[in-house]
Amino acid sequence: MDKIGQSEKTTQDRIVRLFQEELGYSFLGNWKSRSNSNVESTLLTDYLKRCKIPDTQIDRTLDILKRTATNYEKTLYEKNKEFYSLLRYGVPVKEEVGENTLTIPVIDWENPTRNDFAIAEEVTVYGRAEKRPDLVLYVNGIALAVIELKSSTHSIGEGIRQSILNQRPEFIQDFFSTVQFIFAGNDTEGLRYGTIETKEKYFLKWKEDVEDVSRLQIDKYFLKLCNKQRLLEITHNFTLFDGGTKKLPRPHQYFAIKAAQKFVERKEGGIIWHTQGSGKSILMVFLAKWILENNPNARVAIITDREELDKQIKKVFEQAGEKIYRTSSGQDLLKQLGQPRPRLLCSLIHKFGRRDVDDFNAFLNEIKNSSVVPQGELFVFVDEAHRTQSGKLQLLMKAILKTAVFIGFTGTPLLKKDKKTTLEVFGRYIHTYKFNEAVEDEVVLDLMYEARDIDQRLSSPEKVDTWFQAKTKGLNNYQKHELKKKWGTMQKVLSSKSRMEKIVQDIIFDFSTKPILSSEYGNAILVAGSIYEACKYYELFQNTELKNKSAIITSYNPSTGDIRTEDTGENTETEKEFIYKTYKNLLGIKSTESYEDDAKQSFIEAPVKMKLLIVVDKLLTGFDAPSCSYIYLDKSMQDHGLFQAICRVNRLDGEEKQFGYIIDYKDLFKKVENAVAVYTSEMDLTNATREDSEIILKDRLKTAKDKLENALEEIEILCESVEHPKSLLHYIQYFCGNPEVPEELRDTEFRRASLYKLTANLVRSFSNICNELEEANFTSTEIERIHERVEFYRDLRETIRRASNEIIDLKSYEADMHFLIDHYIQADESRKISRFDDMALLDIIEKLGIAKAIEALPQAIQVDHEASAETIENNIRQKIIQNHLSDPAFYSEMSELLFSLIQRRKFEALNYETYLQSIAAIAMRVSKGQNDDLPKSLKSKGLRALYNNLGKNEELAQKIHSAILTEKPDGWKGNELKERVLKHALYKALDKNAEEVERIFKILVEQPEYE
């Protein structure tokens, strides 16, 4: 019988046997009593002699390796980097002065089994002090890995800290100059891995075949990571020296590259969706290096849509030691693409366009027929792929790079509105790594959400009405309506000075009381709804302790042209004038770019000097965006933008930061909830094929064409009744009557309303397809007519608006309306409207589906039984929808139960307490994902799903479950040939019923345990 809490030596003996018997390493013995080196001359000499290397060259090779490993003038990082270069590319050797240099390979990377893999235990090393690593892995006599083991009752952290200590100069630092992997493990916590100078908190866990529980994790993952081929592959293809930090891949990065390699080999594009903060930039470096090294004709172009991202990509690649050319203009881009070098370049997507283009279709045809032919096999990486691949620039990029393979990188999945066009450009998903997976793997932090409400009230409604009437004398009803429409919107009300002052006080209070914010490392981002609001916030913070510790970063760059038409002669200040004045004051003699770069650098590197950045859109997306401790949301956001913004706070920034904190002043919880739900669920493009993209393209163009034709027909029908010859006067008389007679203007108002609405619909339909009219099968004559008619109706709308005096220059009323909002709308102190302080956001989403969640609802919802019921029902319904594909039978049953209960609540006056008991029972079943009366043998989620969807036939479910585990090939998902193997196994188990095979296969795809 196995003992609990076995000794470290027992574990060590077992691991040594595992390396010998299962991994094929030779055992060098216990090296406690000998003086050991990281370059064992005898072992390396034996290997080189077997490779037919002459003795004189062997001696020179040994000398160079040892001198590199013990260079006292260099840091450990520098020595390790230089030694790694010798390992990877070979040792340059000259036998005599003046002779040609020969390259001596010390590892055979292409044939791993031809190398000598060995393990030694208790390896005594004499540096400035004597140390003894538990195990050392040698390849051809060179120490590539150090292993520290602990007993099952001692923390794995002790082993990590032991190796970190040993790397210090006063111990055995030089020994680590050859080391690529540092492992620490025990029988209970499993295995962690890192490399030289990796901090304890950044030691990683491998994750693969999670359903395999047949042995201890430490054994399982030594077999995975120290497999001869895998160990050399990671060393060769997945080791990065990144600006002073050596990095190894996380498992999701490794498997993403492995999947991408297959796509690249068959010249197929696709999308890599890895959640925000999980290391997409490193992924680009790994993949680009592999492509360029393994295909001598390959070139890689990295395309972004933002200047700051373009700069950051160049910086990332250069820090990783890769030469990359950044194009300076569109002409430069075309020039570089037309010659064989540089092989690696980056550019903005906007450089595919041209500013002075009037006839875009003609320009597009010119580009398609141009003589510029990109040299080599071009692979195009597009960052933030969901954002940049629509409209004119995308068409130009595809036209210029006809033969290129496009690979998209995104931190967010493709929402419905993005899917079609993005699938057309890139194809299916190559690899996905979702937000909840990253939280579970401790790659990013979980999120803490708090909604705060600042009540506002009208202090004197009568005065407001009197003031408004006085200021708008001489305006007709339409003009007054337009003025109220602009200034009566919620956004304008929420930008009142009183409310913003309360938010500023709120944030200052947090900086004084929240431990992470009050520390020297804490910082925050405030997201404002507009540049004007950002400037107002900045001005308010100048009267607080954050003066000189806050900055604005927006898209605005002051120019005197901005205020050329702003002065109304009323001695007041418009929004643009206020923005211009604020920027001129804060910039001083600096340029906007210099000011923002300095602010961002201080925010990242010295947060004690720059605590708060006020932004609108910039710095919220892309891997260049800085992380922060808190994010304050005072802007309506959704989908990609919202999720990317809140992920500014989920980065691992230090031991003090346990969560990412979101403070919401705009009641965005439902949108936050939905965003996280979307970004933790599977999308439906994983198994899409190239043919799918062609079908979608045709469907989209046909739909867009129909909408445009219908929109044009509707507006022409409206204008049919205009008298001939349909002159300007006839149009005015039809839509306005006599503009000087108010009664006739009122009588024709319905016609003008129809014209405005149909014109807007026509312009919208036209803009959706204007760059693809030819592809939509319009003839050149039809295209010319469409352009002419759209322009005509757009001009007609403006003409009729002016003839009827239904326009208003809002500029002259701007300052007065700001005065009204700032002086007659009062804000109360903020109050918390959620009780989620101590609950991570993923937990909230999970637990809102149970009856007890009603206690955590905002007070206003708690006291309203109808609102409480709908909140709980909506969360249960959302979970049912999210999980339906994984177990259609069970979740359909839950959906029917929920629908029945809702009907009873609405139409049978169901007692509220009885309702709560019933909804709680449904919620608990949905939350667990199973019924309580299942057979005990159904121990896994996949097995339960099979049982539910096979008519609750336990024997058949067990039979298919076993068949899947036995027959499934590795990496079968998304691989058509491997999927056929699995479908064939189902075909036999399901009595050759092809329809049942397809139905059950769709359920298997949703089960992680069968991957």
pLDDT digits (tens, 9 = 90+) for 93-142: 986 666 788 999 999 999 999 999 999 999 999 988 899 999 999 999 99
> Is the C-alpha dihedral spanning 820, 824, 829, 832 positive or negative?
negative
Phi/psi for 104 (5° steps) reads -100, 110
Asked if 266 contacts 101 with a C-beta cutoff of 8 angstroms, the reply is: no
Give the CATH architecture of domain 249-433. 3-Layer(aba) Sandwich (3.40)
Q: What is the CA radius of gyration of the chain?
A: 33
Which pLDDT value is given to residue 138? Answer: 98
Instruction: Look up residue 311 and give its two tokens.
Output: 């700069």
Confidence at 286, pLDDT banded by 50, 70, 90:
very high
Q: pLDDT at residue 79 above 90?
A: yes
Higher-pLDDT residue of 11 and 390 is 11
Which pLDDT value is given to residue 22? Answer: 96
The string of pLDDT tens digits covering residues 50-71 is 999 999 999 999 999 999 999 8
Confidence at 650, pLDDT banded by 50, 70, 90:
low
3-state secondary structure of 162: helix
In terms of Cα–Cα distance, which of 402, 405, 373 is closest to 295?
A: 405
Range from 234-238, 411-415, 883-887 carrying the lowest mean pLDDT: 411-415
The string of pLDDT tens digits covering residues 760-774 is 888 888 877 777 788
- Report the pLDDT averaged over residues 999-1004: 84
Please list the residues that pair with 450 across neighbouring strands: 663
Phi/psi for 619 (5° steps) reads 70, 5
Question: In this structure, which amino acid lies at residue 37?
Answer: S
Which pLDDT value is given to residue 669? Answer: 47
Instruction: Find all residues with CB under 8 Å of 558, minimum gap 6, and list them.
Output: 579, 580, 583, 584, 587, 592
Residue 657 CA: distances (Å) to CA of 409, 580, 625, 630: 28, 37, 18, 10
* Side-chain half-sphere CA neighbours of 176 within 13 A: 28
Question: In this structure, which amino acid lies at residue 910?
Answer: L
- Report the pLDDT averaged over residues 677-703: 47
The rounded distance, in Å, linking the Cα atoms of 1007 and 554 is 44
DSSP 8-state class, residue 39: B
Q: pLDDT at residue 31 above 60?
A: yes
Q: pLDDT at residue 5 above 80?
A: no
Higher-pLDDT residue of 829 and 151 is 151
Per-domain residue ranges for the chain? 8-230, 249-433, 449-680, 691-804, 857-928, 941-1010
Confidence at 603, pLDDT banded by 50, 70, 90:
confident
Compute CA 823 distance to the chain's CA centroid, rounded to the nearest angstrom: 42
Which pLDDT value is given to residue 446? Answer: 67
Query: According to the 3-state scheme, what is the secondary structure of 449-486?
Result: EEEEECCEEECCHHHHHHHHHHHCCCCCHHHHHHHHHH
Confidence at 623, pLDDT banded by 50, 70, 90:
very low
Confidence at 486, pLDDT banded by 50, 70, 90:
very low
Instruction: Find all residues with CB under 8 Å of 916, minimum gap 6, and list them.
Output: 851, 854
Instruction: Find all residues with CB under 8 Å of 644, minimum gap 6, and list them.
Output: 276, 411, 412, 620, 621, 625
Which pLDDT value is given to residue 848? Answer: 47
Instruction: Look up residue 807 and give its two tokens.
Output: 């326009």
Which pLDDT value is given to residue 389? Answer: 42
Q: pLDDT at residue 259 above 90?
A: yes
Which pLDDT value is given to residue 944? Answer: 85
Q: pLDDT at residue 846 above 50?
A: no
> Is the C-alpha dihedral spanning 115, 116, 122, 126 positive or negative?
negative
The rounded distance, in Å, linking the Cα atoms of 515 and 796 is 61
Asked if 712 contacts 763 with a C-beta cutoff of 8 angstroms, the reply is: no
The string of pLDDT tens digits covering residues 723-748 is 888 888 888 889 888 877 878 887 88
Greatest mean pLDDT among 178-182, 786-790, 923-927 lies in 178-182
DSSP 8-state class, residue 186: E
DSSP per-residue codes, 285-316: HHHHHHHHHH-TTEEEEEEESSHHHHHHHHHH
Which pLDDT value is given to residue 408? Answer: 83
Q: pLDDT at residue 801 above 50?
A: yes
- Report the pLDDT averaged over residues 687-716: 65
The string of pLDDT tens digits covering residues 905-946 is 666 656 666 776 677 777 777 777 777 778 878 878 888 888
How many CB atoms lie under 10 A from the CB of residue 544? 15
* Side-chain half-sphere CA neighbours of 925 within 13 A: 19
Please list the residues that pair with 246 across neighbouring strands: 241
Q: pLDDT at residue 585 above 50?
A: yes
- Report the pLDDT averaged over residues 888-893: 80
Asked if 169 contacts 65 with a C-beta cutoff of 8 angstroms, the reply is: no
Place of tokens 């050991």: 36
Which pLDDT value is given to residue 675? Answer: 47
* Domain 249-433 identical in fold to domain 449-680: yes
Which pLDDT value is given to residue 697? Answer: 40
- Report the pLDDT averaged over residues 836-860: 44
Range from 160-169, 664-673, 847-856 carrying the lowest mean pLDDT: 847-856
Please list the residues that pair with 139 across neighbouring strands: 117, 142
Asked if 615 contacts 308 with a C-beta cutoff of 8 angstroms, the reply is: no
3-state secondary structure of 120: strand
Which pLDDT value is given to residue 406? Answer: 86
- Report the pLDDT averaged over residues 242-251: 90
Which pLDDT value is given to residue 379? Answer: 92
Q: pLDDT at residue 693 above 50?
A: no
Helices (H) and strands (E) in the chain, counts: 41, 28
Q: pLDDT at residue 851 above 60?
A: no
Instruction: Look up residue 917 and give its two tokens.
Output: 């008991």
Which pLDDT value is given to residue 831? Answer: 54
Instruction: Look up residue 441 and give its two tokens.
Output: 């793997």
Question: In this structure, which amino acid lies at residue 236?
Answer: H
The rounded distance, in Å, linking the Cα atoms of 440 and 111 is 36
Asked if 405 contacts 379 with a C-beta cutoff of 8 angstroms, the reply is: yes
The rounded distance, in Å, linking the Cα atoms of 421 and 697 is 7
Which pLDDT value is given to residue 750? Answer: 78
User: Taking the model in full, what pTM does it have?
Assistant: 0.61
Q: pLDDT at residue 341 above 80?
A: yes
Question: In this structure, which amino acid lies at residue 20?
Answer: Q
Instruction: Look up residue 571 and give its two tokens.
Output: 């001695």
Percent of the chain with pLDDT over 90: 24
Which pLDDT value is given to residue 454? Answer: 64
Higher-pLDDT residue of 231 and 835 is 231
Q: How many Å from the N-terminal Cα to the C-terminal Cα in the chain?
A: 33
Higher-pLDDT residue of 384 and 558 is 558
Confidence at 92, pLDDT banded by 50, 70, 90:
very high
Q: pLDDT at residue 371 above 80?
A: no
Instruction: Look up residue 146 and give its two tokens.
Output: 């150090």
In terms of Cα–Cα distance, which of 926, 883, 920, 884 is closest to 901?
A: 920
Instruction: Find all residues with CB under 8 Å of 901, minimum gap 6, and list them.
Output: 915, 918, 919, 922
In terms of Cα–Cα distance, which of 967, 959, 930, 926 is closest to 945?
A: 930
Confidence at 651, pLDDT banded by 50, 70, 90:
low
Instruction: Look up residue 99 and give its two tokens.
Output: 């002779």
The C-alpha angle 900, 902, 908, rounded to 5 degrees, equals: 90
Which pLDDT value is given to residue 691? Answer: 44
Range from 98-112, 795-809, 847-861, 938-952 carrying the lowest mean pLDDT: 847-861
Asked if 47 contacts 140 with a C-beta cutoff of 8 angstroms, the reply is: yes
3-state secondary structure of 768: coil
Place of tokens 């959400």: 449
Peptide linkage before 969 cis (omega within 30 of 0):
no
The rounded distance, in Å, linking the Cα atoms of 159 and 150 is 6
Superfamily of domain 449-680: P-loop containing nucleotide triphosphate hydrolases (3.40.50.300)
Confidence at 352, pLDDT banded by 50, 70, 90:
low
Q: pLDDT at residue 863 above 70?
A: no
Asked if 872 contacts 865 with a C-beta cutoff of 8 angstroms, the reply is: no
Instruction: Look up residue 111 and give its two tokens.
Output: 């044939």
The string of pLDDT tens digits covering residues 216-231 is 999 999 999 999 999 9
